[in-house]
Chain A
Amino acid sequence: MTARRARRITRTIKRVALYAAALFFTLFAVFPFYWMFLTSFKQNRDLYVGGTVTSHIPWIFNAPPTMEHVNLLFQQTLYLTWVKNTLVIGAVVVVITLILAVPAGYALARLTGRWGERLGIGVFLTYLIPPTLLFIPFSRVITVLGLQNSQWALVLVYPTFTVPFCTWLLMGFFRSIPRDIEDQALIDGYSRISVIRKIVLPLGISGILTATIFAFTLVLQDFVYALTFISAVPRMTVSLGVPVALVRGDVFYWGSLMAACLITSIPIAVVYNLFIDRFIQGLTAGAVKG
């Protein structure tokens, strides 16, 4: 009897510990976003109360929420211009990336045999060469091309990380399409080109969509290249403009600044979450097998 009770108590303790741990991790991950949310909608008199005033609890709304900061962000700052710049650059980069990466991914998956596998790994390794190593030579290349302060500089440079990444991602996708289907079509007299057009592309559409999403989020994540090449405020991207140019002088418009961070981050995070599993699958395939 006591043994069973002891077991039940241990189980309850384990359960509580589990939930406590889950709660801890969630709070740590989410807390900055919650803080952004509070800051975005708090009135200034509620927001700018020194941290030494222990009677004023900053974790909640002490005064009714306000849209003031959000309105300011949309009406009196260049936020929407930056969003538009980012979308345009992102769209062009995605198109370039797909044009280069879809054929390359398929070739590495099906047409190049053994050395294709090696090359695939090589392509992925180039993705690991960081912008912080390349921004200095690029600044010279961009000067030679006369592209300083131009969004074309970013359009030219961003594929350096989206192409390797997406080629590698698509290679995995195309490999997962059953080979038999393609062989059958070849036997039936289709050329390789029509096999690609009529079988591989329709079956690989989810892979291409995933590559699109990842290429776009990679563009959005970049800070280094934008900081290096773009100094004209109206030409900036969101990731550069918000942290660098929304701050006027020494006065931080924290409400609007946090609203910009929140409004930009959340949609990306949601979309990213929907696609992350495909990315993880590809990434872990090698390590798990070994």
Chain B
Amino acid sequence: MTLPRETQAGVAAIAVPLRHRTLADREDWLGRLMLAPALIYVVALVGVPFALALALAFSGARSGSLDFSWVGLSNFLAIIPDPQFQRALWNTLRFTIVSQFLVMVLAVTAAHVLSAAFAGRRAVRFLLLLPWAAPVALAAIGWTWIFDSTFSVINWTFLALGLTKRWFYWFGEPTLATIAIITVHVWRMFPFATVITLAGMSSIPQEISEAAVVDGAGFWRRFFQVNLPLLLPIITVAVLFGVVFTSTDLGVVYLLTRGGPYNSTHVLASLAFQRGIFGGDLGQGAAVAVFLLPVLVVVAIVMLRMARRAEVGA
């Protein structure tokens, strides 16, 4: 029940003189006023540091002093040929891609399982969400203990089941360390992706699936040609979040391997930390971190496009 505009204005004109006409009665100004503090905070403490991050990448800044000397591209010229940096860039890419692929497969499967009716479904959902809710640093330490070089319960289980005869030094070999890191990322992200996918599934009209059954489509055909395409937008949201969290993560790599063995598992974030904070070379650290930007820009663009589509659809 919305009144015509003139009537509304008329009512306001009668109502307002009863009290003082203040700034608070001008809605657009009130809106700006209420928005301003948060906006100022975000601009001052996200926008400015973000610009500073870019500026530092072109500077010779060190953590001990406050000088700020422009050095042009020399930080980038120093890191780009650096094999350790190339390794970190490559690791960031492959850890993210492999773990997000696994997360997607697991999440879609788990969501299908959870959408079926069975006893204890709520309990299963609750337990599934534990990895996502627990503080990542504490979970990472838990995994460090699971992959321990002497007491690893995984190794014990492999040996006891007779799956292997050799002892795995999880953090002693680059390949094993990579597997360990990806395992932790997958473990942490798949519950979240599952819950998002599940929410998406419940919004797909039942009739579509039923119509496909009537038309004689089998399970796999229904899954790949009906359900999966319909689920795609929602899975994209889950994956975008996963990409951001995984590619920029510092805690898991730092606590599991510290970039070792032989600096083989550094990612951009951990290398930036090592160069910028431990090494004190803020400029070079910032230059390393800047390489995270392309991923974030792509994610932002995809999200904006999806938001616009939602706007049009609404």
Chain A residue at minimal CB-CB distance from B35: A107
- Given the contacts A135-B277, A137-B56, A242-B141, A224 and B250 also touching, CB distance less than 8 Å: yes
Decide if A243 touches B255 in the complex (CB within 8 Å). yes
Decide if A104 touches B34 in the complex (CB within 8 Å). yes
**Least Cβ distance of A50 to chain B in Å?**
6
Decide if B116 touches A132 in the complex (CB within 8 Å). no
Is the C-beta of A286 less than 8 angstroms from some C-beta in chain B? yes
**Least Cβ distance of B111 to chain A in Å?**
10
Decide if A132 touches B248 in the complex (CB within 8 Å). yes
Chain A residue at minimal CB-CB distance from B38: A104
Decide if B282 touches A32 in the complex (CB within 8 Å). no
Interface residue from B18, B106, B277 paired with A25 (Cβ < 8 Å): B106
**Contacts of B231-267 to chain A: CB distance below 8 A:** 233-234, 236-237, 244, 248-251, 254-255
Residues of A within 8 A of B277 (CB): 135-136, 139, 228
Contact size class for A? 35 or more
Chain A residue at minimal CB-CB distance from B237: A287
Residues of A within 8 A of B136 (CB): 221, 223, 239
Is the C-beta of B313 less than 8 angstroms from some C-beta in chain A? yes
- Given the contacts A128-B299, A243-B138, A139 and B276 also touching, CB distance less than 8 Å: yes
Decide if A143 touches B66 in the complex (CB within 8 Å). yes
Is the C-beta of A209 less than 8 angstroms from some C-beta in chain B? no
Contact with A along B143-171 (1 / 0, CB 8 A): 10110101111011101100000010000
The answer for the CA separation of A5 and B189 in the assembled complex, in Å, is 41
- Given the contacts A223-B251, A276-B195, A284-B196, A132 and B272 also touching, CB distance less than 8 Å: yes
Decide if A288 touches B130 in the complex (CB within 8 Å). no
Count residues on chain B whose CB falls below 8 Å from chain A CBs: 120
**Least Cβ distance of A217 to chain B in Å?**
7
Residues of A within 8 A of B3 (CB): 187
Decide if B24 touches A192 in the complex (CB within 8 Å). yes
Q: Classify the secondary structure of B's interface with A.
A: helix
The answer for the CA separation of A183 and B12 in the assembled complex, in Å, is 11
Decide if A128 touches B300 in the complex (CB within 8 Å). yes
Is the C-beta of A157 less than 8 angstroms from some C-beta in chain B? yes
Is the C-beta of A77 less than 8 angstroms from some C-beta in chain B? no
Interface residue from B8, B28, B138, B300 paired with A125 (Cβ < 8 Å): B300
Is the C-beta of A71 less than 8 angstroms from some C-beta in chain B? no
The answer for the CA separation of A103 and B39 in the assembled complex, in Å, is 11
- The stretch of B79-87, B173-181, B303-311 that contacts the partner chain: B303-311
Is the C-beta of B218 less than 8 angstroms from some C-beta in chain A? no
Decide if A32 touches B131 in the complex (CB within 8 Å). yes
Most buried by B among A39, A157, A167, A261: A261
Is the C-beta of B203 less than 8 angstroms from some C-beta in chain A? yes
**Least Cβ distance of A248 to chain B in Å?**
14
A sample of 11 cross-chain residue pairs with beta-carbon separation below 8 angstroms, ordered by A number, consists of: A36-B145, A54-B159, A103-B35, A112-B31, A159-B41, A160-B49, A224-B273, A261-B141, A264-B138, A283-B237, A290-B313
Having A243-B141, A252-B145, A276-B133, one finds 13 other A-B pairs with CB under 8 Å, namely A21-B110, A25-B109, A26-B124, A32-B143, A59-B153, A107-B32, A128-B296, A130-B292, A133-B293, A143-B66, A243-B138, A257-B145, A272-B129
Pairs A-B, 5 closest by C-beta atoms = A111-B31, A104-B38, A130-B248, A103-B34, A137-B52
